[in-house]
Amino acid sequence: MPIINEHCLDGTVFCSDGWKSYLKLAEHLDLEDVVHFPVNHTENYVDHITGAHTQTVEGLWRHCKEFLPRFGMKPKDLGSYLDHFMWHRYCKQRKLDMFKFFLSCAAELYPPTSKQLPRAVFQESAIQEHI
């Protein structure tokens, strides 16, 4: 509950499965105007009255798990893997070239300077040593 309280806003709409711990979710949060639509998966996957479902988040989590390495991932690295997954998904959905888009984002965050690198000066003796 503390994590949900910290990361969700007043007026959040929650859709969840019917797991017992979720049943009184709205009553146990310190948020205002929270709405909770539980879906009983033993009866259906989309509540025919409210239209609530968990298919979108479950599908996203399935794709995410497929993206994560099967072995050897350290818990401290999970954030980096999730960042990579979201970057890959963002670019794929928009049909962006990931490398070019990365460069444009980097240039936006760290604009190129107007300074130029000094010109390289080659000494004839140094070149002869490598031949």
pLDDT tens, residue by residue, 97-106? 999 999 999 9
Proportion of the chain above pLDDT 70, given as a percent: 93
Residue 76 is part of which domain span? 58-109
* Reduced 3-state DSSP string for 63-114: HHHHHCCCCCCCHHHHHHHHHHHHHHHHHHHCCCCHHHHHHHHHHHHCCCCC
Proportion of the chain above pLDDT 90, given as a percent: 41
**Structural domain includes residue 115:** no
Q: How many folded domains does the chain comprise?
A: 2
**Structural domain includes residue 128:** no
- Highest mean pLDDT among 8-17, 24-33, 41-50, 116-125 belongs to 8-17
**Structural domain includes residue 121:** no
My answer on whether 36 and 65 are in the same domain is no
pLDDT value at residue 125: 63
pTM over 0.75: no
- The rounded distance, in Å, linking the Cα atoms of 17 and 5 is 19
My answer on whether 69 and 45 are in the same domain is no
- The rounded distance, in Å, linking the Cα atoms of 42 and 40 is 5
